[in-house]
Structure 1
């Protein structure tokens, strides 16, 4: 052995080799097939990555594995981002996987960009073709899976924000090979039934492959052709699909889609209260103006006493003129004039008597008004109690429900129903949709 030769132990050799591997092969992508997959009790994943020519051992620690969202199966192909490490105890090298994606997602992204460019060139994303969303919808349709968490989020948001809005669900799978076609079928069914003001197309978050059903060209064209405004809330805020670009409004989440489709109930009530207040103020102003016009008209009227006094004064003037006239022919006319004056005085209204009668009638009216109001109030209270007792809401509060079929008609006979029919139950607090499992008569 030469004097300056360095002798390494096996552990030192493996350590240095490991440092070389980690320094040279850090953060690389490796494509292969999973085999010998094992999920340890600690949550770590141990498996082998192989292709037609070779294989390598790999490990994915629990923290990284829990973020994947699914468990790989033997035989599936993935692309792994990993660093190369050396297990010093045995001298075996392995891959320490940080993340993985299904093989071919790069092709999916390329297909996404190509379809986006094609539809954009056709004008399907143009702002001027977007339909306006109804400001106050009566009925909102939701296209999603019945098992999706997104559906629960939408229903919860609408119940909290606008409980008066009726909701119709058009179920369709949101993931899988046939999901895009079934989503398009659900959309076409909603268009044909024409029973909603706004449609919500929603799904929770996921990978590009999970959301791929919403990048389908057929579904995109169905959304663009829909006469019903559509709000698309697919994935999380950072997720974008072709359906988002074609829809009339893109919402960052399903909950946001529910919030965009209708204003809060409290806001509507505030607007109604403001409108009622404005209408009341306008009515008061109209009444005040009419009262002023009435006062001016009354001021222009001349009372019978005043008119009689004016006529008497004019008569006296004429009498004096007649008395000053000379000659016998005028005396006869003077006598006739006196007779006419006597008749006029006898025919004049008895103002004092009429004033007493008027005061008497005013007193009678003042006494009768409270009694009349009390009688009408009692009748109104009785009618209100009767109406309240017969109110449908009162009946529903005792545990009853109003059952309507898919056409909104009230169901009265169980024999009119068939298994699979969809019904709407209106309860004392809200409503719900059910499906008939069995129909039978109590008779």
Structure 2
């Protein structure tokens, strides 16, 4: 099959005289490489490594006598779990392709593993994926560290350089924080189990607020204890927040994924586990300043209430004087009321007296009338009630007289 035939089979086209453009040539070569060359594993060193802002990795894979350009796109690069370093040797699973704009032959890397350690790396990836499926690697599960812990625990070997680094950093940055060491080997066949025991001891004693799980750098085999499933589950289940500081910045272990915080080195773990003494002093000064301001405001409000209450207080003499003034005013109001009431009643009495005087018979007699009483003393109102010869008594306005009846007329 020539290029023109291949292009035609794949829906391409060329000029009528059979001459290809450069783009057509590169496209046909790319399709031939992608369809005719199987995916293969290639062993070589990383060279000219670049991590683009897009997240893609661009580098070369080389051996003693040759090199090939390589690209690993962001989605696959994020699944690796570590960043390859120039000079490191890996096994790469690649798809052969062509970068058409420049006609450069290259490979697209789909996966990589450390050369000679493919089985370990595959086991690492399988465990990581299984724990991720259970949610143990979910960032939302991670708990924040106590910014001012009372004590920090360190799970590591007593002979490890990592322990000296941690103790040095803690003595310099946070001498006020107590450090408790839970010793365990960090390398070897029994190391993972003993790390689990040390972690369990720290949890049972409950004497620290943060745990550091640390060791220095090493090969994949050296760090393999920190890829143990039982240790990973113990870290995830720990009620005490765990900081993992294993190896160098480019080393990743399963412990890093399940810990509450991953530090790139043991030294960084010590720096991240708590605030420095200076930072604590700054925070304390800030808190004291805020407390002083709040106290001042409280005292000012109390003083205002006291002034208001004091303004309402009077001395006994002043209180008596005020009460005397109120009594005088009340007495004056009472006298005025009584005088008004007496005047009113006197006027009413005078009016009644006037009406009584108007009805007094003696007043009528004074105008020339008389009152006639019969022999029995009863007032005579009708002359026919008298008999001839009876003696009557006549009362005038002034004086009295008696008379005998000699005649009566109706």
Normalised to the residue count of structure 1, the TM-score between the two structures is 0.47
Number of aligned pairs? Answer: 235
Q: How far is 1:210 from its partner? A: 1.7
Matched residue SS, 1:143: strand
CA RMSD of aligned residues (A): 3.4
Partner of 2:133: 121
Which of residues 102, 109, 123 is equivalent to 1:111?
123
> Tell me, which stretches of 5 or more residues in structure 1 are unaligned?
1-27, 31-80, 85-97, 327-443
> Which of residues 265, 268, 273 is equivalent to 1:256?
268
Change (3 A) 1:300 1:225: closer
**2:252 alignment partner in structure 1:** 240
Please give the per-residue CA displacement for 1:106-155, whole angstroms capped at 9, x wherever unaligned. 22222222222222222221223323322321121111111111111111
Aligned position for 2:313: 301
Report 1:308-323 matches (<5 A).
309=321
1:280 corresponds to 2:298? no
Q: Which residue of 2 aligns with 1:14?
A: none
Q: How far apart, in 2, do the equivalents of 1:195 and 1:296 lie? A: 53
* Aligned-pair CA distance for 1:250: 0.7
Aligned residue number for residue 210 of structure 2 = 198
Any unmatched runs of 5+ in structure 2? 1-41, 45-62, 67-86, 91-113, 340-410
Contact kept, 8 Å, 2:43 with 2:89, in 1: the verdict is no
The residue that corresponds to 2:239 in the other structure is 227
Separation (CA, whole Å) in 2 of partners of 1:225 and 1:316: 86
Query: Which of the pair has more CA radius of gyration?
Result: 2
Contact 1:29 1:82 in 2 (8 A): no
Deviation at 1:235, TM superposition (A): 0.8
In the TM superposition, what is the alpha-carbon distance from 1:206 to its structure 2 partner?
A: 1.5
- Report how far residue 292 of structure 1 moved: 2.5
Whether 1:163 aligns to 2:175 is yes
Where 1:296 maps in the other structure, the secondary structure is: helix
Q: Deviations over 1:302-341 (max 9, x none)?
A: 444545555666788869x99xx99xxxxxxxxxxxxxxx
Deviation at 1:249, TM superposition (A): 0.9
Query: Which residue matches 1:187?
Result: 199
Flag the 1:293–1:206 CA change in 2: closer, same or farther, 3 A. Answer: same
Question: What is the alpha-carbon distance in structure 2 between the residues aligned to residue 244 and residue 314 of structure 1?
Answer: 87
Tell me the SS of whatever aligns to 1:134.
Answer: coil
What is the CA-CA distance between 1:103 and the residue it aligns to?
A: 7.6
Supply the distance in 2 between the matched residues of 1:314 and 1:198 (Cα, whole angstroms).
75
Report if the CA contact (8 A) 2:43-2:115 is conserved. Answer: no
Q: CA deviation at 1:170?
A: 1.2
Name 2:106's counterpart in structure 1. none
Scaled by the length of structure 2, the TM-score of the pair is: 0.50
Q: Distance in 2 between matches of 1:111 and 1:292?
A: 74
Question: 1:72-111 to 2 correspondence within 5 Å?
Answer: 104-111=116-123
